Each structure stands twice: as structure tokens, then as C-alpha cells.
Amino acid sequence: MSGQITNILLVGVGGQGILLASEVLSETVMLAGYDVKKSEIHGMSQRGGSVVSHVRYGKEVFSPIVPEGEGDILFGFELMETCRSLSLLKPGGTVIANDLRISPPSILMGQETYPEGLAERIKEQFPDFLLVDGQRLALEAGNPRTANTVLLGAVSKRLDIDEAYWLQALEKMVPAKALNVNMKAFLLGRSL
Amino acid sequence: MKEILSGNEAIARGAYEAGCRVACAYPGTPSTEILENTVNYTEINSSWAPNEKVALEVAIGASFGGGRALCTMKHVGVNVAADPLFTLSYTGVNGGLVLVAADDPEMHSSQNEQDSRNYAKFAKVPMLEPADSQECKEFTRLAFELSEKYDTPVMLRTCTRISHSKSVVELGERVTGLPEPKLVKNAPKLVMLPGNARVRHPLVEERLLKLSADGATLPYNRMELRDTAIGIITAGVCYNYVREVLPQASTLKLGMVHPLPRDMIREFAATVDKLYIVEELDPFIEEQVKAMGIAAIGKEILPICGELTPGRLRAAFGLPEIASATPEKLPGRPPNMCPGCPHRGVFYTLNQLKAYVTGDIGCYTLGFMPPLSAMDTCICMGASIGMATGVTKVVSPEEQKRVVAVIGDSTFLHTGINGLMDMVYNQSPATVIILDNRITAMTGRQDNPASGFTLMDDPTHRIDFPLLCKALGVKHIRVINPFDLDETRRVLQEEMNRPEPSVIITDRPCVLVKREGVFQKGAVYAVSAEACTGCRACLKIGCPAIEWRPAGDGSKKGKAYIDPLLCTGCDVCRQLCKFGAIGEAKQ
């Protein structure tokens, strides 16, 4: 039903830089001339809860949230959160996930264990799956906190949008003193 | 110029463009960012009030003085501001007055999901409902114009998905040439004594009829005819879901949800074969349409509870489900208090002392979750103290000792002071803990009268809690360091056992306060693997920085580990370790 709309989901844990990544993505597609809507829940999620950000772009976007089962790309900052949101993705959709595990309270307290084999199970259901070592590449870029930008770079390659718009959006949205390292992180991700 | 703005940013922009001079609010998700953005426009005097009632009263004063004024709050805030709102409806305005009520269907961050549209009907004021950020901006401008044209406060209703969604907005210029504010006496209009109010009430009724009749000519109500087999009356974010899921259906998109444009609704109903009403929460439009004698389908197929989504709308209209992956059962990820949060030790102690805790609204409401599990009630802002008084009126003297009210600094100033006044006046033996972390934390670190700064970042008087409690007549006031578990336990026990009202004030800042010199991170702690016996005592505070690492041999054994990136050095876990295994990390 969504016609020419591209649906992207960014999921992870509060504090991982998901909102900045989705802002840069939205700015990029606006610069490229598309209508765009983005939606996420603030509030409770800031206290270490799950975060799901929806970005939709195309000629004219109505719903600010991605209809269930219509996501084109799921862009996961943490493995368990990536898994939790798979049902938003369309069959045959793309998954780009950070190879990172962050334990929720029940696991920290030793009441549950972190599920094993998540990446394998994602790949079984969604063969178009890219696992990114965001932490290592962020260190390579020069700042461990740029994993979100590395991942954004990896996603950017899957979208038919001119590189110039991405760089322009990064320049606008990222604070000046962190721009160089983020540019480097973005290009590292884009080269994957 | 085009920008991507959230609904809240767009409302702030709309207020700026409308020539708004004063914006006032109490923070509340999902409305908070409106004032955090009006403050960026130097032309608007923006301020946090201690509660929504005061915020609206400040806006009323600004309006009566002749300036355009904006007041914003979350849905439950309107309950607090309802008293001035209902009579403001009678007086009307001088400068335009717009009240934003931000609803939270699905309760992403709220204690109920009341539908604010009922307030517009109840208070007899017009209400606009935007469907995206562009409309947020346009409708805010329009609301100010309507407010002055019809001499009425105007409500603007958003919901979480409008306030916190971003979309493209075309910016405009700030209007000029509005009348200069000045004092003008007009007692028959502004002094609502019975004699004057009796004159005003009929004007309110006339105003509603005129607004309803004018509804068809105003641009915000829009009939879009496509296939006329199905016609849908809808508004706000639901309009987008309708266009997404049923693109061929004809729509009557209401920009004004109260009063309804009755003639337009009749015309639309007569044009389409089958009429549906798609709205979130209450059947607000539906009941009125049905009362007009028009056949329609609404809550017969749509949910009253929770928010609408494209998927739920598909299901309601019997469209086939879209195939997708089956979700795997995974450990949940609920929100948690931050590492180093000064509330953690207090709730740990309350749990140990088996207190019956009447709770309140804030980050500390998370104290109800395991392993702290030390909150027994939560109703609304400021309710903890009144509830504690009430509980002690009915239980035995022995049980009275266990009753403790817990309330944050901002919530205490919001509506907790009256509760404490009553507790002293009527001599309840309960204990009150004011968790003073010097900020309104839950909604994202807003200043309040006890933080020492205004929204515009000007230094100001900082409320002295012990002095305030003393003035209310509390004889036993204790200020404690909540990171010192022995002190916290000792003082709590003493005050809980005392058969008189008492107040304990915790005196450590929120770890998220960014203002210099308020929160200071301590030395990072570490667990000595040799000394750790795996007793799990340190896990009982639920600190996100402490992790249980299983031995990996299939046994239940393991050891604790502290994440050095998360630890703030608050020292609470060290005090729980009987084996001296936790201490400052070696450099």
C-alpha cells in the first residue's frame, strides 16, 4: 500500500545515538528532495529502555510510523533489540546489525541469560543480513562513540541517495568538534 | 525555507510566528519540548511554572494584559489546570490564548490515557487537532487568530505520535502590528461573580453555535472526495493512518474537533454510501455524529484502548494481515534508574524495612520494579502525601509506622505541599521522604523552583525545603545523604517509629544534571575477583553498572563485575558487600 515509500527502522537501547542517526538520515533524504516523516518515543526510553525510531520517505508520506510488516531496512544497534523488531520488517527485508550485546536488568542480575545464536537466527529469516563490528570500526575512526555513524554509513550504501547529501546532512547535524571523526566513521561504514 | 521539525518544535515555531509574547508550562511527556523550543525565541518570555494550574493562570494574566500567550501541558496536566480553564471559557481573552494538551494514547509515559477532547466539550472551548508538523505550526497560528476573533481560549490537541514525530515544515515570518499590551479595566468581562458570569454564559453558547456554523467555511475542515463507497470522518494522526491503509476512501478531515461542523458532516454523510469514524481513544466524534441521527461505524470495529496503528486499522477493516517474521520470546528491557541515581539506596532501604510506600510521579516511580520493589501506590502528581495520611487513618498504630510517602522535589512543589500541610494540620503519623535531586528529571532535566535557575537559564531563588517544611509546621525534619546506607536506614527507622508527622529530605543531585558543579562523578569502583564470593548481595540494588557473570560451568556460581564506563562511584554497592570485594578501581 505504501507505494514508493521507503521504510527504515532504527532500533537499539536508549543512549546509543539512535536519535542522532535517524535525524541525519531524515535530513539527508529531505536534502535529496523527498517528503520524510520520522517518529519515535521519548520519555521512559531514556532510562535504558528499548528505542525504536521509524523513518519513512518518498513522494508523499502519510503515517509517521512504519506499518507492521512493511519495513524495508532494519538497522539495529544491539542484537537483541534487532531481533525484537524483526516483525516490523517485510519478508525479504534487509537487516544491518551492530555486533553488540547490552544486557537488560534481568540478565545483569543473573535471572536470565543473553540468548545465544541471535545473528544466525536473523540470517535464517532474512538472508540479506550484514553484521557490522561497529565498536571496532568506531575505534578505528578515532572515537568509540561513533558506532552509530559507522552503522549509518553501512545503511547509506543500501539507499540510492547521492553521497553529497549524506555529507551535507552530517555537517549540519553533528557538532563541529565531532565532525571529522564522524565523517571518518561514516565513510568506514559506507565502505563495508 | 524548509526544515524538519517535530510537532512540538513546530508548535513553538507557530507561536513565534503568531507573535506570541508569553509561554508557560509545567513539563510533561509528550509536551515538554514545546517550551524548550519557545525559549530559543527571544521575543517569547518562556517559563516553567510549579504546576499546570499556575502555568495557565500566568498565561491568562498575559492574555488579559493584551499579549498573546501559550500554555502547554500533558493530558493529565489539564486536570490540574481545569479550574481556571472552565471559567476562562466565560471571560474569554484579550490577547489570544492557546492551551496545548498533549495526549498519550498507549501510555508510552503516562499513568492513564484520558482523551482531552472531552475537556474542550466540557469547558465549551474550541479545539484544533493537527495531523503533522506543518499543521502543528499552521494550527497554532490559526488558534491565536481564532482565540481573538471568537473571544475564547483555544485548545490545540496533539498526541505522542504528533508531538514526537518529525516532518517537513515550511517556515514563515513573525506577524507584526499586533496591539501593544497595556492595562485595561473591564470588570464585567473579567470578574466572574454570579451577576457577571450569568451574562457571560449565554455568550459562550452563542460562540459555540457560531464556531460550528463557520466550520464549513474555514480551511482546517476539509472534505476529500475519492471513491464514495466508503467515507471516513477522521482527524489528527488517524487521518494519516486512513490515507495509508485506505487510500481510495473519501475523507472528511476535521482540523477542528470541537465544536463539530454539523452541516459539513451531514453533507459528507449524504455523499458517501457507508460512513466510518476513525479516531483514537474515546468515541468523541462518533457519539456526536450518531446523536445527529446519522448512521456510522466506529468503535464497533476500532479499539478504545491504546493507540491506533496502520496494522490495527487494517485489522479493523478486515484487510488481510501482512506476513512478517514471528517474534521470538526475548528478555524484556524495561527502563531503569541510572547508575549513580541517588534514589536507589532509599528504595533499597524502604524494601529492607518493609515500608508501605505511597508513591508519586517521577523517575523514582521505577522504584516499584524489582529488585527494589518498594512502591505500593501511584496515582497522580502530588498524591503520595495525601494517600499516606489517608492510610494512617484506617490501619492499626503498629501498621501506621510502616507508612512512608515518597515524592520528588519537583512533584512536591507541583501539588505535594498541600498534602503535607494537611498531614501536619490533621496530625498523621506518616513519614514523608522528599527526594531532592535538584531537577525535574523524568521529563528530561527541567529546572524548577528548587533548582536555582529559570527556563531562560537565569539564576533565581532556590527553595529551601527544610525551611518550607518548618513553615508548614513539621517538627521533625532530617536531611540525609542517600548514598550512606547506614544513615539512611537509621534515620528512616527513627522517623517511621515516631508517632508524629516527619519529613526526610535526601540531598544528592541527579546524575544527569549537566550544570557545572551540581553532579560530580566519583572514582570508578571495581570488584575484586579474588574476594567476591558470588553472594549476589550487590545485585539487590539493580544498578545497571553491576553485572552477574556466571562461572560458565553449568553451576549457579558466578561473580559480580562493575562496568567502569557506567559506574559513577556512588559507593552504595560497596556498603552491601560483606566481603570487602568492592572498592575503588586501581588505576
pLDDT of chain B, 587 residues: tens digit per residue = 899 999 999 999 999 999 999 999 999 999 999 999 999 999 999 999 999 999 999 999 999 999 999 999 999 999 999 999 999 999 999 999 999 999 999 999 999 999 999 999 999 999 999 999 999 999 999 999 999 999 999 999 999 999 999 999 999 999 999 999 999 999 999 999 999 999 999 999 999 999 999 988 888 899 999 999 999 999 999 999 999 999 999 999 999 999 999 999 999 999 999 999 999 999 999 999 999 999 999 999 999 999 999 999 999 999 998 878 888 899 999 889 999 999 999 999 999 999 999 999 999 999 999 999 999 999 999 999 999 999 999 999 999 999 999 999 999 999 999 999 999 999 999 999 999 999 999 999 999 999 999 999 999 999 999 999 999 999 999 999 999 999 999 999 999 999 999 999 999 999 999 888 899 999 999 999 999 999 999 999 999 999 999 998 988 899 999 999 999 999 999 999 999 999 999 87
B469 and B394 fall within a common domain:
yes
Q: Report chain A's mean pLDDT, rounded to a whole number.
A: 93
Grid coordinates of B479? 536531611
| CA–CA separation, B533 and B540 (whole Å) | 15
Please report the number of interchain residue pairs, chain A to chain B, with beta-carbon separation below 8 angstroms.
175
| CA–CA separation, B158 and B77 (whole Å) | 14
The residues near B389 (Cβ < 8 Å, ≥ 6 apart) are: B419, B422, B423, B426, B428, B430
Contact B70, B47 (CB under 8 A): no
B495 and B529 fall within a common domain:
no
CATH number at residue B194: 3.40.50.970
Dihedral of the alpha carbons of B331, B335, B336, B339, in degrees to the nearest 10: 100
| CA–CA separation, B152 and B130 (whole Å) | 19
Helices and strands counted in chain A (H then E):
8, 6
The answer to whether residue A1 scores a pLDDT higher than 90 is no
Above pLDDT 90, what percent of chain A?
Answer: 88
| CA–CA separation, B541 and B341 (whole Å) | 11
Question: Is position B488 within any domain?
Answer: yes
Contact at CB, B310 and A67, closer than 8 angstroms: yes
pLDDT confidence band for A3 (50 / 70 / 90): low
Query: Among partner residues B239, B327, B335, which is closest to A47 by beta-carbon distance?
Result: B335
CATH number at residue B563: 3.30.70.20
ipTM computed for the complex: 0.95
B199 and B290 fall within a common domain:
no
The residues near B174 (Cβ < 8 Å, ≥ 6 apart) are: B16, B17, B18, B19, B43
Closest residue in A to B243 (Cα) is A62
User: Is the pLDDT higher at A48 or at B292?
Assistant: B292
Query: Looking at the complex, does the CB of residue B534 fall below 8 Å from at least one CB of chain A?
Result: no
What is the SS3 string spanning B260-309? CCHHHHHHHHHHCCEEEEECCCCCHHHHHHHHCCCCCECCCCCCCCCCCC
Q: Which domain holds residue B449?
A: 344-507
CATH number at residue B288: 3.40.50.920
Parallel, antiparallel, or unpaired for β A6-13 and A50-58?
Answer: antiparallel
| CA–CA separation, B494 and B496 (whole Å) | 6
Query: Looking at the complex, does the CB of residue A124 fall below 8 Å from at least one CB of chain B?
Result: no
Residues in A closer than 8 angstroms to B243, CB to CB, are 62-63
Going by C-alpha positions, the residue among A77, A52, A9 that lies closest to residue B164 is A52
B28 and B62 fall within a common domain:
yes
Grid coordinates of B112? 492513564
Query: Among partner residues B132, B160, B324, which is closest to A69 by beta-carbon distance?
Result: B324
Query: Looking at the complex, does the CB of residue A177 fall below 8 Å from at least one CB of chain B?
Result: no
Domain C-terminal end among B316, B336, B362: B316
**Residues within 8 A of A (CB atoms), B 30-59 only:** 30
What 3-state DSSP class applies to A80?
A: helix
Strand order in B502-507's β-sheet? Answer: B356-358, B403-408, B431-436, B502-507, B476-480
What pLDDT shows up at residue A2?
41
B230 and B209 fall within a common domain:
no
Q: Which helix (H) or strand (E) holds B142?
A: helix B133-149
Query: Among partner residues B29, B165, B444, which is closest to A37 by beta-carbon distance?
Result: B165
CA A107 to chain centre: 24
Q: Which of A8, A47, A107 to mutate to test the interface with B (most CBs of B within 10 A)?
A: A47
What pLDDT shows up at residue B586?
86
B100 and B191 fall within a common domain:
yes
B208 and B228 fall within a common domain:
no
Query: Among partner residues A44, A70, A91, which is closest to B108 by beta-carbon distance?
Result: A44
E-strand ranges in B148-204 read: 154-159, 165-170
Question: Is position B406 within any domain?
Answer: yes
Question: Is position B328 within any domain?
Answer: no
E-strand ranges in B106-164 read: 127-128, 154-159
E-strand ranges in A41-105 read: 50-58, 71-76, 89-98
Task: State if pTM tops 0.80.
Answer: yes
Total of domains in chain B? 4
Query: Looking at the complex, does the CB of residue B564 fall below 8 Å from at least one CB of chain A?
Result: no
| AA letter at B291 | A
What is the SS3 string spanning B86-115? HHHHHHCCCCCEEEEEEECCCCCCCCCCCC
B162 and B227 fall within a common domain:
no
Q: State which CATH number among 3.40.920.10, 1.10.3720.10, 1.10.10.10, 3.40.50.2300 fits the domain covering A6-190.
A: 3.40.920.10
What pLDDT shows up at residue A43?
57
Burial of B243 (0-12, 13-18, 19+ CB in 10 A): buried
Question: Is position B322 within any domain?
Answer: no
The residues near A53 (Cβ < 8 Å, ≥ 6 apart) are: A9, A10, A11, A18, A19, A21, A22, A38, A39, A40
Contact at CB, A64 and B547, closer than 8 angstroms: no
Q: What is the pLDDT of residues A67-79, one digit of tens each?
A: 999 999 999 999 9
What pLDDT shows up at residue B327?
82
Q: Which of A63, A74, A95, A122 to mutate to test the interface with B (most CBs of B within 10 A)?
A: A63
Q: Which of A8, A42, A79, A143 to mutate to test the interface with B (most CBs of B within 10 A)?
A: A42
B15 and B61 fall within a common domain:
yes
Q: Minimal Cα–Cα distance from A46 to chain B, Å?
A: 7
Domain extents for chain A?
A: 6-190
Question: Is position B15 within any domain?
Answer: yes
Q: Minimal Cα–Cα distance from A190 to chain B, Å?
A: 24
Question: Is position B176 within any domain?
Answer: yes
B265 and B360 fall within a common domain:
no
Parallel, antiparallel, or unpaired for β B69-74 and B22-25?
Answer: parallel
B97 and B170 fall within a common domain:
yes
Question: Is position B335 within any domain?
Answer: no
Q: What are phi and psi of A155, to 5 degrees?
A: -70, -40
B114 and B229 fall within a common domain:
no
